[in-house]
């Protein structure tokens, strides 16, 4: 229920109109607001008052009294395909916060006295261990220590959502600052992985914290508008939205109130949809579930959830 309420605050009951297939890829705006011009003006006004203050003459400042501020830490920017020690340190921190399907335990005497910033370039030694014995094989195949795979990308996206950062799957200064601060939040969602079988009868299986929680027949894209293959993180969600556009034969369609929508690749999404039968291609690229099954799956879905299609 808490996961559902979280997403209701993110995108509840938003309605969009799209022009092709299920939907074109929406653009994502940064979630962090810029400094307002009013705040900037207030700072400028304050400075001006200081410059023209009436009172005793200001004593000259000698060079000996000036103390230079230390430069802010320089953090690496990591993304899909990055490799090296900084990626390994990112994996260690994400694993400790519960965003990866592995745990990490540092060696007792590793990196004693090192600063958090220094550990990014020279990570402490330790060991990773799978959290659950029945993790799907396609998930385990995405794990490689020191490599920024799709598995790490999804974990970063979930971390960004939970910690109120712009969700783009890139580990930059904001992610590092948060990870290394006392305000960093652990994963409240748990670990969800979704697999879609495109061979008939088509089906979907969802694992949460190492156990199968939802299994259902589904419909994927027809030959003229097939569903993509591969593994992708969910990047956008809506409780409900209108989908409209033109099908491959030039016919206009408009479907209001499509429920429980999770986009994973461009305009392709997992969502509920009423059909007379399920298990074979019928959609324009999306993965259609019976509405009751989509509702059951929805509480387990979040930004960064990996969807595997094969």
Domain boundary among 151, 179, 207: 179
Q: Per-residue pLDDT for 14 more than 90?
A: no
Q: Assess contact for 31 and 165: CB atoms under 8 A.
A: yes
Q: Per-residue pLDDT for 199 more than 80?
A: yes
Domain boundary among 179, 206, 231: 179
Domain that holds residue 242: 2-25+190-309
CA-closest candidate to residue 187, choices 160, 226, 167: 160
Residues 202 and 125 in one domain: no
Q: Per-residue pLDDT for 220 more than 50?
A: yes
* Structure confidence by residue, pLDDT tens digits, 277-307: 999 999 999 999 999 999 999 999 999 999 9
* Structure confidence by residue, pLDDT tens digits, 84-127: 999 999 999 999 999 999 999 999 876 667 899 999 999 999 99
* Structure confidence by residue, pLDDT tens digits, 143-158: 999 999 999 999 999 9
pLDDT for residue 16: 39
* Structure confidence by residue, pLDDT tens digits, 232-257: 999 999 999 999 999 999 999 999 99
Residues 160 and 247 in one domain: no
Lowest-confidence region among 43-47, 190-194, 210-214, 305-309:
43-47
pLDDT for residue 57: 43
Count of the separate structural domains present in the chain: 2
Residues 195 and 156 in one domain: no
Asked if the structure places residue 53 within a domain, the reply is no
Asked if the structure places residue 70 within a domain, the reply is no
Contacts of 278 (CB under 8 A, 6+ apart): 202, 216, 217, 218, 219, 288, 289, 290
Asked if the structure places residue 64 within a domain, the reply is no
pLDDT for residue 28: 40
Residues 161 and 233 in one domain: no
* Structure confidence by residue, pLDDT tens digits, 17-59: 333 346 544 434 333 333 233 333 333 333 333 333 334 443 4
Domain boundary among 179, 214, 235: 179
| CATH number of the structural domain spanning residue 17 | 2.40.440.10
What's the pTM value of the predicted model, to 2 decimals? 0.79
Asked if the structure places residue 247 within a domain, the reply is yes
Asked if the structure places residue 114 within a domain, the reply is yes
User: The sheet that has 252-265: what strands, in order across it?
Assistant: 236-246, 252-265, 268-272, 287-289
């Amino acid at each position: 229920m808490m996961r559902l309420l979280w997403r209701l605050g993110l995108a509840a009951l938003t309605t969009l109109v799209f022009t092709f297939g299920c939907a074109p890829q929406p653009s994502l705006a940064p979630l962090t607001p810029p400094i307002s011009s009013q705040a900037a003006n207030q700072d400028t006004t304050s400075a001006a008052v200081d410059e023209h203050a009436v009172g005793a003459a200001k004593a000259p400042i000698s060079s000996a009294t000036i103390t230079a501020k230390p430069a802010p830490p320089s953090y690496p920017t990591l993304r899909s395909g990055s490799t090296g020690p900084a990626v390994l340190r990112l994996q260690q921190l994400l694993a400790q916060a519960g965003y990866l399907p592995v745990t990490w335990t540092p060696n007792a005497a590793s990196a004693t006295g090192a600063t958090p910033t220094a550990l990014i370039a020279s990570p402490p030694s330790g060991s990773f261990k799978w959290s659950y014995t029945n993790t799907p094989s396609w998930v385990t195949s995405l794990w490689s220590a020191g490599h920024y795979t799709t598995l790490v990308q999804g974990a970063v996206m979930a971390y960004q959502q939970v910690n109120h950062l712009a969700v783009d799957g890139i580990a930059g200064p904001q992610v590092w600052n948060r990870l290394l601060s006392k305000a960093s939040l652990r994963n409240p969602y748990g670990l969800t992985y979704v697999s879609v079988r495109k061979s008939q009868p088509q089906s979907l299986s969802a694992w949460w914290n190492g156990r199968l929680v939802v299994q259902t027949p589904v419909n994927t894209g027809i030959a003229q508008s097939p569903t993509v293959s591969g593994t992708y993180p969910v990047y956008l969600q809506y409780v409900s939205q209108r989908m409209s556009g033109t099908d491959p034969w030039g016919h206009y369609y408009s479907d209001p109130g499509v429920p429980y929508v999770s986009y994973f690749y461009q305009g392709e999404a997992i969502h509920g949809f009423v059909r007379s039968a399920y298990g074979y291609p019928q959609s324009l690229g999306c993965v259609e579930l019976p509405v009751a099954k989509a509702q059951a799956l929805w509480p387990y879905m979040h930004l960064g959830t990996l969807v595997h299609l094969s």
